[in-house]
Structure 1
Amino acid sequence: MGELLLGMDIGTYSSKGVLVRPDGTIVKSATVPHTMDIPHPGWAEQDADGVWWHDVLELCHELIDGDPVRGNDVAAVALSAIGPCLLPLDSVGRPLRKGILYGVDTRAMNEIDELAERLGEDAVMRHSGMAFTSQAIGPKILWLQHHEPEVWARTDKLHTASSYLVYRLTGEHVMDRHTASHYMPLIDIHALEWNDALGSRLAGQDLLPRLGWSDEQAGVVSAAAADATGLAPGTPVAVGAVDALSEAISAGVTKPGDLMIMYGSSTFFILIEETPHPDPRVWTTAGAFKDQYALAAGMSTTGSLTRWFRDQFARDLPQDSAYQELFDGARRVPPGAEGLLLLPYFSGERTPINDPLAKGVLAGLTLSHTRDHLYRSVLEGIALGIRHNLETFQAIGIPIKRVMAVGGGAQSAMWPQIVSDAGHVRQHLPRITIGASYGDAYLAGLCAGLVEPGSIGSWNPPQVSIHPNEDHYPLYDERYRQYQTLYQATREVVHELGTTADDRHPSAAK
C-alpha cells in the first residue's frame, strides 16, 4: 500500500472526494452533483445504489485514474454521508427501497406521538438522551412497519447511508456510534451500545449493524469492491461518520468546548463535551472518538433555502454567478432588510423548536421591497435561527470556547458576518475548506496509523476570524425578539395550512 488517504463524503446535493498525504497536503479532489427526491410533501429520499454508491464509484474513478494515482497508492479509506438515514436491506444486502433521509423527512409524526405515549417521554430521555423528533430513526422504523409491511417482512438489516457504503466496500455491517445515537430508542446513550431496555420491540439486535468509533477499522476493501472502484483489495476502511461530524473534524472541532457551525444544505451544529447533558431541545450523541460526547443540533433548510430562492427567483441570472449577484444585491440592503422578517422553516424545523409542521413565513412585505430585500431577509432569518440554537446551548450550560464555521455558505464573507452580528458570536474559518471529505481523509489516516491523534490542528489551522459588529446588536436583538414572536403568532395557522396541503390527519398538527 502507498500512503495516500482517501476521504469521500456523500452530501444532500453533491458528493466530494479528496486524496491527502499524511501531512494534510491535498493531492487531488473531485465533486459529483446529484439530487434529492421529494415524492410527497414532508418526505425526503435518495436511491442507495443510484446516488450513494454511484457517487462513490464516480469519485473513485476520477481520483484513482492511474494518472498519477493508482489503487495501491491508497493506504486507507474513510466515508461520511448524510444521516441519520433509514435503509432496509434484504438477506443478500440489497436495498429494499430508497433511503429515508434525516430530519428533513417528517413522515413519521404520528409514529413519534405513538412511541412517546407508549414508552413515556421521561423514560426515553433517560435512556436515549434526547426526545423523539424528525431526526430520530425509531419512529421511521415504526412508519416502515405500519405503511410498508411487505418491505419490513423482507428486512434483514437496517443501515444508514455511510454504513451502507462501508458495507458495499467491505461486506461488513458496522455503524458509527454518533449516527447510531439517533436510532433511539434502540441505543443506551450512557453505555453507547444497542439496548432496547424500554421494550419498544421495534427491531431485534440481529437487524442492527455492530457499533464502532469513527477512526476504527470497519474492514478491508473486498475483491468485488476493488474491481468496481479501482482500490486495491485489502485496503483498510474506517467506520466513518455522518457528514456533519466529519466536517467538524476537518475544521479541528475535536476538543470539549469546540463548536462547529456547518453552513450546508441544512445548518448543523456539533458542540464537543466530555459527559452527556441531555436536553429535549437538542440531540445528545456520541462523538467521533472513544469517551467523547457531543451536543448536536440542526436546522432543516438553510443552504437548500438559498438554492430554492436562486432557482425560483433568479432564473434571469447566469447560473455560474447567480449566488454572487444575489449576495451583491443583498449587500446593498441595510441590516433588517427594511422591515422584512423571515422564518426559514421551509421543511419544518428541527432544533430547538422541533416542529415538523412549521413552515416558512415572510412578514412585512410592501410594494417597495425588491428581490435584494427578499434575499437579505433569507440570510437574516437563517442567522436568527442559528442564534436560537446557540442560545439553547448556552441555556443548557455547556461553555462554548471556540466557534468554527465550515461549509459552502461560509465561503461568502457576508453570510457569516450576518450570523456573527445577529448572534453576538466570533467565528473562525479554517485554512482548508473542502469540508467533510477532508475530515474523512484524516479519519482514514488515524485508521491506518499514519497520522497522530490530535494532529488535525496542524493539518488545518484557523485562518480567518469574523468579529461581530456591535453597532448592529440593537437592531438584531429586536429582530430576534420579533422572530420568536412571529413563530408563536403564526404557528397554529401554518400547522393548519400544512395539514391541509399534505393531506395529513389533523391530529398530527398538535
Structure 2
Amino acid sequence: MTDTVGILTVDIGSSSLRVSLFDGELNLIDTLSEKCATEIHPDVEAYWASIEAMARHLVGTHGSLEVRAIGVSALVGWVFVDERGLLVAPVFSWMDQREVQQHALLKAMDGAEFSDRTGRRLSAEQGGLKLRYLKDDLPGTYGCTARMLSIKDYINFRFCGIFGMDHTTACYTALFNVHDLSWDEAIIRALDVDAAKLPRLFAGGAVLGTVLPEVAGSLGLSTETVVVTCGPDGSVAVLGAGGVKPGDAVSVMGTSDVFFAVSSERVLDADRHLVTNPHVLSGLWLIGGPLGMAGGALEWYASTLLDGRYTLDQLNALGVAVPPGADDLLFLPSLTGERTPFWNPAVRGTVAGLTRDHGPGHLFRALMEANSFAIRRILDVLDGLGVPVEHISAIGGGADSELWLRIKADVCGVRVDVPQSLEATTRGCALLAWRALNGKKPLPETPPLRRSLEAEPVGHARYARSYARYLRLMALAEAFYASD
C-alpha cells in the first residue's frame, strides 16, 4: 500500500450520517457528517443524496488520494426494490415492531426450533417478517419486490449495482441459518415468502463489486474502486473498537446500545436471551445483541420530558451528586420496547419508586443504571454459556460520560476501556476495506485507549440490591403490558 491509496467509509446511524476518508495506513484524513432524525421509516433516498454530496467533496478536496475501496455500514432496517433497484415500499427500521407476522410464523414453526436454526429469538423487527407483511397487506407491492435489502445493502447497490448481503446482516432477517451460513429453506417455507426475493450472501469483508461508471464519474472515483461488504453498525463497531479475540466485549453507547462479546466458537443460548451472529471477521462469533433505547432515552428525557430546561451536561452533573441506586428509583427506558436480553416489544417506559424527594438527577442516573443492569444481565447469561468477558470497550457518544462509564463498570464488575476514537463503526468499515485490499495481512493493532476504569468492589456490591430489584421490576412490567 502506498500513501496515495484512499478508503472511503459510510456510517448511517440512528442519529447521524458520516462519510469519512482514510489513507492506506488507516489514518483518518477527513470526515463529514450531518444529523438525521431517528425514524421508523427512514428516507434512504435522502441518505444517498447526502452520501453523494459528502463523498464528492472529500474526493475532490483530497485529490492526492486515489480511493481504492468503499465500506458502508448502517442501522438495521429493510428496503424493498424492483429489478432496477427502485424503491417499491416504505423502508422499515428496527423500530417498526408490528407483531402479526411474528405470531403467524410461530404457529408454523416452534420457537425453539427457530432459535436453534437462527441463533436468536424471533423478533417483530426482523426483515423476513416485513417481507411477509407486504405479502399479507400489500400484495401488489410484494409482487413488484425483486429483492429485500438492508439499508446499507441499498447504499452498496447505488454504488456498484449489485444486490448482496453479508452474513451478519442476514442474521437479522429471521431467514438465515447460523450453522451453514445460508438462507434457511425450512423457515422460508414456514413464513411462506419467495426465496428469490432474497439477495446473494457474502462473508464480511468480501468484495461485492466495483463502482458503477456513472457513479465513478459523478464522485471522481475510479471504476476499479471496490465496494466491500461490511455489516450492521453495531457489529462493525465491535471490530473498530478492537473486538477481535475471545474475552473482548464492546458496548456501543449510541441512540440504542449494542453489546457483543467475541467468541471463537458458535455458542447458542437455548433460553433465547442472546443472539449469536458470525463476526464481520470470518472465523469468529459475536454473542449478545442490540438493546433498546439508551442515549436516545437520555436525549428524550432532556428535550421532551424536561422541555430542554437542562442540558445533558447539567443533568450529568446532577446525576453525579446522586448516590448509586438513585435512592431506590428505577426507570426502565423501554420507549421502543425491550430488545436484548428480554425481547419484549410490548414493554414500555416504566418508573418505580418515585417520591417527592427525587429530582431530575435521580431520573437521569436511573436511566443510565437501567442500561447497565441490562448489560449485567447479558454478562450473567454469557457466564452461564461459558463465554468469558475480560473487559468492555465502551464507544459511541455515551462513552463521553464519565458518570455512565463509572456506573457501567461498577454495575457489571468488569473493567471498562475507552478507545482513543469513539467513532468505531467508521474505523471498522475502514478495517474491512483495508483487509479486502491487503488480503491476509494481519490487521493493525487495537486502537490506543483514552482511559480505563476498573470496577470498584464496594460500588459493585452496592448495586447488588438495585440489580435484583431491576430484574423483579422487569418481570412485573412484562406481566403488566402483556395484559393489553
One-letter identity of the residue aligned with 2:181:
L
Separation of aligned partners in 2, 1:231 and 1:412: 39
Displacement of 1:61: 3.4
1 or 2 for the larger relative contact order (CA 8 Å, sep ≥6)? 1
Per-residue deviation, 1:352: 1.2
Which ranges in structure 1 are unaligned for 5 or more consecutive residues?
Answer: 38-43, 500-510
Per-residue deviation, residues 465-503 of structure 1 (Å, max 9, x unmatched) = 11112222233110011111112223333344xx4xxxx
What CA distance in whole angstroms lies between the structure 1 residues aligned with 2:185 and 2:25? 43
**Structure 1 equivalent of residue 8 of structure 2:** 6
Matching residue's letter, 1:289:
L
Could you tell me which runs of 5 or more consecutive residues in structure 2 were left unpaired when the two chains were aligned.
none
Q: Which residue of 1 aligns with 2:384?
A: 395
CA distance in 2, matches of 1:419, 1:55: 35
* Matched residue, 1:210: 200
Matched, 1:25 2:27: yes
In structure 1, the residue matched to 2:259 is: 269
Counterparts of 1:71 and 1:133 in 2: how far apart (Å)?
A: 47
Question: Following the alignment from structure 1 to structure 2, what is the Cα–Cα distance between the partners of residues 295 and 258?
Answer: 11
In the alignment, the residues of structure 2 paired with residue 253 and residue 490 of structure 1 have an alpha-carbon distance, to the nearest angstrom, of: 34
Alignment of 1:474-485 (within 5 A): 474-485=461-472
SS in 2 for 1:244: helix
2:109 corresponds to 1:113:
no
TM-score (norm 1): 0.89
- Quote the sequence identity (%): 24
Write the mapping of 1:156-171 to structure 2, written as runs, cut at 5 A: 156-171=146-161
Residue 308 of structure 2 is aligned to residue 311 of structure 1: no
Contact 2:249–2:393 (CA<8 Å) still a contact in 1? yes
| Alignment of structure 1 residues 446-461 onto 2, 5 Å | 446-449=435-438, 452-457=441-446, 460-461=447-448
Alpha-carbon separation, structure 2, partners of 1:14 and 1:29:
13
CA distance in 2: counterparts of 1:487 and 1:216, whole angstroms: 41
| Cα distance in 2, alignment partners of residues 70 and 429 from structure 1 | 33
- Alpha-carbon distance change, 134 to 464 in structure 1, aligned in 2, over 3 angstroms: farther
Structure 2 residue 291 is the aligned partner of structure 1 residue 299: yes
* Cα 1:121/1:71, change in 2 over 3 Å: farther
Q: Partners of 2:384 and 2:12 in 1: how far apart? A: 33
Q: Which amino acid aligns with 1:455?
A: P
Deviating more after overlay: 288-297 vs 376-385: 288-297
Q: 1:352-371 maps to which residues of 2 (within 5 A)?
A: 352-371=341-360
The residue type paired with residue 343 of structure 2 is: N
Please give the TM-score of this superposition, normalised by the length of structure 2.
Answer: 0.94
CA deviation map 1:374-407 (0-9, x unaligned): 2111111222122122212222221123321111
1:226 aligns with 2:216: yes
The residue number in structure 2 matching 1:139 is 129
The question of whether the paired residues in 1 share the 8 Å contact of 2:252 and 2:258 is answered with yes
Aligned-partner Cα distance in 2 for 1:188–1:295: 15
Q: Which runs of 4+ in 1 moved over 4 A?
A: none
Shift in CA distance, 201/377, structure 1 to aligned 2, threshold 3 Å: closer
Deviations 1:124-158 (A, max 9, x none): 22322222123432222222222222211110111
State whether structure 2 residue 227 is matched by structure 1 residue 253. Answer: no
Between 1:4-13 and 1:389-398, the stretch displaced more is 389-398
Q: State the match for 1:54 in structure 2.
A: 49
In the superposition, relative to structure 1, how do residues 62 and 387 fare at CA in structure 2: closer, same or farther (>3 Å)? farther
In 1, the alpha carbon distance for the partners of 2:72 and 2:12 equals 8
Query: Are 1:374 and 2:363 counterparts?
Result: yes
Query: Aligned partners of 2:216 and 2:64: how far apart in 1?
Result: 8
Structure-2 residue corresponding to 1:507: none
Equivalent pairs counted in the alignment come to: 479
Q: Is 2:75 aligned against 1:82?
A: yes
Question: In structure 2, what residue type is equivalent to 1:26?
Answer: L
- The letter of the residue matching 2:177 is D
The CA deviation at 1:351 is 1.3
Match of 2:422 in 1: 433
Check 1:36–1:149 CA distance in 2 against 1; reply closer, same or farther (3 A cut). farther
- Paired with 1:92 and 1:121, the residues of 2 have a C-alpha distance of 36
Kindly report the root-mean-square deviation, in angstroms, between the aligned alpha carbons of the 2 structures: 2.0
